[in-house]
Amino acid sequence: MSAECVVWEDTKCEDKKCEEKHDHGSGTDTVTMIPVICVLWIVCGVIAGSTIGSPLVQDLVDAVYGYRWNYMDRCIIDEGYFAGGFCRTPLNCSCGAVDRIDEVDINDMTEKLYEERYAYSNRPLVIRNATLSWKAMGVLDYDWLKKEYLRNPEILEENWENCFFKCYKTSEFKSLADVFHISSERIADMSAEPWYVGWSVCQESVFHQLSQLVSLPKFLSSFHAEGNMWIFIGTPGYGAHLHLDHDLDLPTWQAQIAGSKTWYLKPPPECVATCPGLIQTDMHPGDMIIVNTNLWMHSTKVLDNGISLVITRQLS
């Protein structure tokens, strides 16, 4: 007998293997028998289709859209590029008119211009020389931070709600305390093994001291800083990986206090069809970037201009 799956339709019924004829008056009924091997192939096909076919189709659809979709909860699954949970709802792609990161000197920026063009548009903006008058520009550096955090052993033990430490590619640091035990030789040697970290300022005394060193520019007089203050610091070569701050609700201002850094922005995967591709800009001491990091995926790289130090908060 052949292994092919065929339906037997001979009029003979030898040994009752294929069909039987039953006379019922003037009519004849035909009972068609399917070989067992055919049934086995059908069952195997159903099992293979349900266990393999569906995931393959889903993977293909996800590849076309550029993200993994949770069909049960109707949300985009975290692939390690966004903070704030396992799954997020698709974003409103309000970046179609953006093709670059605008740059405006502080002397040319007004409150009216900012509110009309940038405040509610998700258009990223760099304000050149925005913080040159800050006290932080002549005071804030690695040594200042080290002194403030280590002057009292209890400071590093403080733990506010929503307190984070991120070491990015620098796996050698397990805590903020490790950062302040880097040797002075390594701090001075920019050719040494690079490092880059960030943390939220969860210590009340340090937060208070830092707040005395910064102030929002005049064109932001109708806005105010909100939420945690963050510090990002590191040596040339490293920076933050591409990610999305899904746990933030507001745009952030990020002030370059020391060193230089390149910012790279790109839309989230659900917006690639309507928004521009990669856009970038370089930040130097005194510059400030205002960007909605909940909409724009972003990464950074510290340039060869000494230790980069950035201070940031949300803008409301």
What distance in Å separates the CA atoms of residue 34 and residue 161, rounded to the nearest whole number?
Answer: 68
pTM of the model: 0.79
Q: Which of 283, 289, 240, 239 is nearest to 258 (CA)?
A: 283
152-197 pLDDT tens trace? 988 888 776 678 899 888 888 999 999 999 999 999 898 889 999 9
Least confident of 65-79, 97-111, 171-185: 65-79
- Residue 55 pLDDT > 80: no
**Inter-residue contact 127 to 290 (CB < 8 Å):** yes
The tens digit of pLDDT for each residue in 14-44 reads 444 444 445 555 555 666 677 878 777 777 7
- Residue 118 confidence (pLDDT): 96
141 Ramachandran zone, left/alpha/beta (phi>0; psi -120 to 50): beta
Burial class (CB in 10 A: 0-12, 13-18, 19+), 155: middle
